Amino acid sequence: MNDDATLIPEGYVPRLIEGRLDTLMRAFGCVEIAGAKWSGKTWTGLSRCTSVTKLDLPAEREAALVQPSLALVGSTPHLVDEWQEVPEVWDAARRHVDDASGERGLLVLTGSSALSKRAREKIRHSGTGRIARLVMRPMSLAESGDSTASVSLRELFETGDIAPVRHESDVQDIARWCCRGGWPANIGLEDEIAYETSAAYVDSVLRTNIDDEGKSSELALSLLRALAFNESQAATYRTIRKDAGFDERDIDDDTIASYIDLFKRMYLIEELTGWEPPMRAKARVRVKPKRMFVDPSLAAALLSATPSKLIRDMQTLGVLFENLVIRDLRIYLSTFGGVGNAIHYYHDDKGLEMDAVIEHAGSWAGVEIKLSNTKVDEAARNLLRARDKILANPAAQNEAPAFLAVIVGAGDLAYKRDDGVLVIPINCLGA
């Protein structure tokens, strides 16, 4: 256990989620920061703590296995890193908070995988009222310095408008960002070196986490590649099985479901669920989830994609760009307080769709995602048609969207069109 007056690591880059973390530490005795490996959870936790227990270290893990409360010893705020290595620490943290008679900001827990069903059986209490939870993702473009963040998502919900802003990007930039990913360790590295991170990430997961769960690393790799091939699609198990190179005699639906559940628990993939208007409009909508990697660079690595290859394959680049935009929108939305903040997609039985529907504070916004600004007119018309259909049923009483926007990759100007639809280059967007 290491005690120090300050634990902020040298070279630490501030993260957008810090403000939300500070708020929750003032409101709760303990905060859990969960999310993908290498996304920066530990460093952000250290930036707010004065002591730390690292349960990925054998000696500290063994002590906690004998007596879980030993993991909590240290000056406060105290960080317990990789707490899921000893699931009993959760109940010990809850008791520790109870015994502190209402004191706030005592503990921060970090974990890079959600507990399996067997591990959850070791936990008696949910932690409700004592332990708050934050999900942390890799860096957004605003955090890595690749976006000016001059267009605020929060302000879009408040005003529905933007002032014109000029900031240029092109498809070469998009390809680079998709292959580099948002990994904090890549900050300052040359592109060719940074591109190695995601491949190493996948290899690390297969060699350690998958084996630890008693799963086949070979089958996991095949399924991950199939998910990358179907990135941003609501692919069926049949499609995933086929693209992984198997048939029903090789793996059944239950096996595929168990691996996908594991990938979600490890924060490798996230689901984007279909959106149903708050009060149903006259439309049947798809609600089957799309599966997206937590960072587009993971899909790029699994597809053996490089920037030069992606420039010659605009369809794949467009899919990875959609993944990047959804990642950033999720990160920006995670800084908002309150309940009911979520991102979905919309697709009805007539083919009307929106790539993202953002919900916040009882309002919603529709977003189309396009690699190039040459597709803006078509995307704007689609958004307006979808809006009009959702609002067309008087009995449903749906509210008008807070805004409609086309988020583009290759563009040079953020502005509001005459029809009211906003056009926003991704490298202008921020929280």
Asked if residue 244 belongs to a domain, the reply is: no
**Average model confidence (pLDDT) for the chain?**
92
Pair 288, 373 in one domain? yes
The pLDDT value recorded for residue 288 is: 84
The pLDDT value recorded for residue 89 is: 94
Asked if residue 273 belongs to a domain, the reply is: yes
When pLDDT is averaged across residues 339-355 and rounded to a whole number, the result is 91
The pLDDT value recorded for residue 281 is: 53
* pLDDT over 80 at 128, yes or no: no
pTM of structure: 0.94
Asked if residue 372 belongs to a domain, the reply is: yes
Pair 156, 123 in one domain? no
The pLDDT value recorded for residue 5 is: 55
The pLDDT value recorded for residue 123 is: 66
Pair 174, 310 in one domain? yes
Pair 163, 306 in one domain? yes
pLDDT band for position 333 (50/70/90)? Answer: very high
Asked if residue 221 belongs to a domain, the reply is: no
Segment 148-176, tens digit of pLDDT: 999 999 999 999 999 999 998 999 999 99
Pair 41, 77 in one domain? yes
Pair 150, 165 in one domain? yes
Domain boundary among 118, 136, 154: 136
The pLDDT value recorded for residue 120 is: 60
The pLDDT value recorded for residue 348 is: 87
Asked if residue 249 belongs to a domain, the reply is: no
Of the given ranges (104-108, 142-146, 188-192, 276-280), which has the lowest mean pLDDT? 276-280
When pLDDT is averaged across residues 335-349 and rounded to a whole number, the result is 92
Pair 88, 146 in one domain? no
Per the structure, how many domains does the chain have?
2
Of the given ranges (71-80, 117-126, 207-216, 306-315), which has the lowest mean pLDDT? 117-126
What is the C-alpha R_g of the chain?
22
* pLDDT over 80 at 114, yes or no: no
Pair 365, 274 in one domain? yes
Of the given ranges (41-45, 213-217, 258-262, 377-381), which has the lowest mean pLDDT? 213-217
Pair 83, 27 in one domain? yes
Residue 130 belongs to what domain range?
A: 2-136
- Looking at the chain, the whole-number percentage of residues with pLDDT higher than 90 is 80
Asked if residue 242 belongs to a domain, the reply is: no
When pLDDT is averaged across residues 186-199 and rounded to a whole number, the result is 93
The pLDDT value recorded for residue 339 is: 86
The pLDDT value recorded for residue 220 is: 96
Pair 281, 386 in one domain? yes
Q: Indicate which CATH number applies to the domain containing 100.
A: 3.40.50.300
Pair 121, 177 in one domain? no
Domain boundary among 103, 136, 169: 136
The pLDDT value recorded for residue 126 is: 63
Pair 108, 174 in one domain? no
- Looking at the chain, the whole-number percentage of residues with pLDDT higher than 70 is 93
The pLDDT value recorded for residue 394 is: 74
Domain boundary among 104, 136, 168: 136
Asked if residue 251 belongs to a domain, the reply is: no
The pLDDT value recorded for residue 117 is: 59
The pLDDT value recorded for residue 314 is: 96
Asked if residue 246 belongs to a domain, the reply is: no
The pLDDT value recorded for residue 157 is: 97
